Amino acid sequence: MNAVPSIRRGKVTIRDLSKSFTLNGQRLKVLQNLSLEIRAGEALAIVGPSGCGKTTLLRVLAGLETPDSGSVLIDGHPVQGVGRERSIIFQEPRLLPWLTVLGNVAFGLDLRGTPRPETEARARHYIRLVGLADFEHAYPRQLSGGMAQRVGIARALTVQPEILLLDEPLGALDAMTKLTMQEEIARIWREENVTLILVTHDLEEAIFLADRALVLPREKNAAPHLIDVALPRPRDRTDLRFVELRRRLMAGFGIN
């Protein structure tokens, strides 16, 4: 008898999403009537100028912000606050300084009451996945910026999310470390088979990691648009097609 194939999970549906904030007594529209479907297992980059709503959109997807109107569905179910199917990684890794690498990575499982043997086994698995097997007893103060961000990624993956949300996770790193971490994120995404949604200001990072890029305009009367990143993997930054996609993204920012 053939096994019944499992259903791919991690599909995100955004319907007529609007979000605004009050600033200096005035209502500021950040997102307006945004609709989008993100395929399960897809890597989507969200780009655009400062103030266009990139991080706000990510926080709505994470359940950290509530939209004014519209909805977000995960596999057909409305998002109502944070959920176990989603993990978010911020620009700063936000490690707990009194815990070791192992303790930080295991922290989410400890909160959920996962049995200790399973917690340690899963934490060690993801520590190895991000290349820090020799550092599980180190403390955050003993880690470089890139290593600390790897710990943050391992901690997010340990709870085995269907959707991994990244908010400028490499923005604070030096250029060479950033390139290395982009390679690592691409590898981890392939191995873990999760839906990846990345907010970034780095256009090359968006092209290197994403299947599609969502360009959010600063002007709220302008429509967001999607750009397919139809390049073979692993990506070659010197490929002329890569350079042309970067030009198209820059045009989306109004840069010639």
Q: Are 104 and 173 in contact (CB under 8 A)?
A: no
> Can you tell me the distance from the alpha carbon of 57 to that of 77, in angstroms, rounded to the nearest whole number?
18
CA distances from 164 to 5, 9, 89 (A): 23, 12, 8
Q: What is the pLDDT of residues 70-120, one digit of tens each?
A: 999 999 999 988 888 999 998 888 899 999 999 999 998 888 888 999 999
Residue 252: predicted pLDDT = 63
Q: What is the pLDDT of residues 58-74, one digit of tens each?
A: 999 999 999 999 999 99
Note the pTM of the prediction, 2 decimals: 0.91
48, pLDDT greater than 50: yes
Residue 5: predicted pLDDT = 42
Q: What band does 224 get if pLDDT is binned at 50, 70 and 90?
A: confident
Q: What band does 3 get if pLDDT is binned at 50, 70 and 90?
A: very low
User: In a 3-state reduction of DSSP, which class is residue 224?
Assistant: coil
> Can you tell me the distance from the alpha carbon of 73 to that of 71, in angstroms, rounded to the nearest whole number?
7
Quick count: other Cβ atoms within 10 Å of Cβ 39? 14
Residue 253: predicted pLDDT = 64
CATH architecture assignment, domain 12-85+162-252: 3-Layer(aba) Sandwich (3.40)
Domain ranges of the chain: 12-85+162-252, 94-160
Among 111, 103, 180, which Cα is nearest to 146's?
A: 180
Residue 14: predicted pLDDT = 97
> Can you tell me the distance from the alpha carbon of 82 to that of 80, in angstroms, rounded to the nearest whole number?
7
